[in-house]
Amino acid sequence: MLHNIEAEQAVIAAVLLDNDCLETFTRLQPSHFYSPAHKTIHEAICYLTTKNTPVDLVTLSERLKAIGKLDAVGGNDYLTNIMDVIPSAVNFKHYVAILKKNQTLRRLASAAANITQSLENAEDEHDALQNAEKLIFDISREDEKKELTKLAAELPTVLDNYDLVARDPSALRGIKTGFDTLDSITNGLQKGNLIIIGARPSVGKTSFALNIVLNAALKSKAKVAVFSLEMSKRELANRALCSVAKVSLTHATRGKLTPEEWSRLWDANAKLQKASIYVDDTGSITPEEIMRKCMRLQREHGLDLVMIDYLGLMGTKSTNRNESRQDQVATNSRMMKNMAKELDIPVILLSQLNRGIEARKGADSEPMLSDLRESGAIEQDADIVMFIHKPKTETVSEQNEHSRDYEAKIIVAKNRNGPTPYFKLQFIGELTTFMDPDKVSKETGVSAAPSVVTVSAPEALPIQDSSISDIF
């Protein structure tokens, strides 16, 4: 049985007996009631509350009579009988829970029928699966819709957080990126934030984002999903392994590894085998598909961070041929921000910059928010926007085998909840790795570029080693 008439009567009776139940009752939907008569009564009671009219047997009867539906619900006799179902409203919440449970079961039954019917029109199994998962997910989210609440209700929590941070500065830090200055500026990657990393091609935005992912997974035990629309899973695995091992990618792919480098590779392999890093290399994947896969991953294994490489390669489900590319990018950007909020996780989204930046000289050659490619909506949706700036090579002597190494200027162009400074990182091309300059010599034996400039920022967050979680 997917309905309970007695529970529906009890809910209505409780409201007629005690108007303190009205706030909860009016949040119910007509679909919570199975009986058509009870749907009509629910709508009539909700109408009375909008008019600030007390709800009782008399006012309800008058409202039903005014809209010509009193006889349809069974007349005054039926309303009177409902009043006799329960002696008091003490168990009202229990009756409401029964209605919600039955409504969910009815929606599941309807979804099952819809899924079965849609199989006949599905173009392939992926469309059928996506439709089925969306229907089920919509049901699971039904009870999560937020209501208007007074701001005052949030103030105690905010004050408690201030007190907590005063006693323990690390209490509310987000996921550590592994870069001390960046962690100081952002206080870690915060839940619900959309973080844009922008750069021109071949500057290292994939490497930078992957370094953050690896640091989060290995040092903070974060569960991370990586959507690579440009590189294959194997290419990402190559980079990840060599980056963690601090081994030259060129040496590894050309069979020129030393015994010591082999040892570091095996150590890195052992760490990555235990890390919760999930990779999808579907080309032109749509935001809907990304969100569906992330929801499933979060439900089955947990999810703390998402990286998408990159926005310009994302597909769209729009069938509007007149929709511009700019509109498509804006829609995709907005959906990724919504995903960050709904899943309550930080989302790192990579983006190309406009080609016009290459024609600028001097200080003007540094990226700006207006350089974000194809859509100003990216700037609007993002909580943090970072640019990787690679100084232009000026002399022939710099064109050598180490030309891939350079001192990168990381420009925080937007930070919704903090400062917007810049800082510098050393990029080690052979390792496809960005590093804090003061750690380069210690960890790789390579000398960092001189004259590293940083800005004043809060004290850098300590990076702590921790155990590793599972990988799939």
Q: What is the DSSP string of 283-349?
A: TT--HHHHHHHHHHHHHHT---EEEEE-GGG-------TT--HHHHHHHHHHHHHHHHHHHTS-EEE
What pLDDT is stored for residue 364 in this prediction? 64
Instruction: Give CATH 1.10.860.10 domain extents, the chain.
Output: 5-144
What pLDDT is stored for residue 453 in this prediction? 35
Q: What is the mean pLDDT of residues 29-56?
A: 91
Neighbour-count burial for 186-224, b at 16+ CB within 10 Å, e otherwise: bbbbbebbbbbbbbbeebbbbbbbbbbbbbbbbbbbbbb
What pLDDT is stored for residue 227 in this prediction? 94
What pLDDT is stored for residue 442 in this prediction? 63
Burial class (CB in 10 A: 0-12, 13-18, 19+), 69: middle
User: Is residue 333 pLDDT above 90, yes or no?
Assistant: no
Question: What is the pTM (predicted TM-score) of this model?
Answer: 0.68
Strands 384-389 and 194-199, sheet pairing: parallel
How far apart CA 23 and CA 46 sit, in angstroms, is 10
User: Is residue 357 pLDDT above 80, yes or no?
Assistant: no
How far apart CA 119 and CA 341 sit, in angstroms, is 32
What pLDDT is stored for residue 404 in this prediction? 67
What pLDDT is stored for residue 443 in this prediction? 63
What pLDDT is stored for residue 168 in this prediction? 77
Q: What is the DSSP letter of 84?
A: T
How far apart CA 321 and CA 13 sit, in angstroms, is 54
Instruction: Give CATH 3.40.50.300 domain extents, the chain.
Output: 177-444
User: Is residue 467 pLDDT above 50, yes or no?
Assistant: no
What pLDDT is stored for residue 469 in this prediction? 36
What pLDDT is stored for residue 396 in this prediction? 46
**Low-confidence winner among 249-258, 283-292, 444-453 (lowest mean pLDDT):** 444-453
What pLDDT is stored for residue 104 in this prediction? 87
What pLDDT is stored for residue 155 in this prediction? 84
What pLDDT is stored for residue 209 in this prediction? 93
110: Cβ–Cβ under 8 A, 6 or more apart, which residues? none
Q: Which tens digit of pLDDT belongs to each residue from 78-127?
A: 999 998 888 888 899 999 999 989 988 888 888 888 888 777 776 667 77
Instruction: Report the top-level CATH class of 5-144.
Output: mainly alpha
What pLDDT is stored for residue 266 in this prediction? 92
Q: Which tens digit of pLDDT belongs to each residue from 47-62?
A: 998 888 889 999 999 9
Give the chain's count of helices (H) and strands (E). Answer: 17, 9
Confidence at 444, pLDDT banded by 50, 70, 90: low
Confidence at 466, pLDDT banded by 50, 70, 90: very low
Active site residues: 230
Confidence at 363, pLDDT banded by 50, 70, 90: low
How far apart CA 233 and CA 226 sit, in angstroms, is 10
Strands 347-352 and 384-389, sheet pairing: unpaired
Q: What is the mean pLDDT of residues 145-156?
A: 73
Q: What is the DSSP letter of 374?
A: S
The fold for domain 177-444 equals Rossmann fold (3.40.50)
Q: What is the mean pLDDT of residues 174-188?
A: 89
Confidence at 437, pLDDT banded by 50, 70, 90: confident
What pLDDT is stored for residue 210 in this prediction? 93
What pLDDT is stored for residue 141 in this prediction? 63
**Low-confidence winner among 312-316, 373-377, 408-412 (lowest mean pLDDT):** 373-377
Q: Are 116 and 49 in contact (CB under 8 A)?
A: no
How far apart CA 173 and CA 151 sit, in angstroms, is 24
Mean pLDDT of the chain: 82
Q: What is the mean pLDDT of residues 332-349?
A: 91
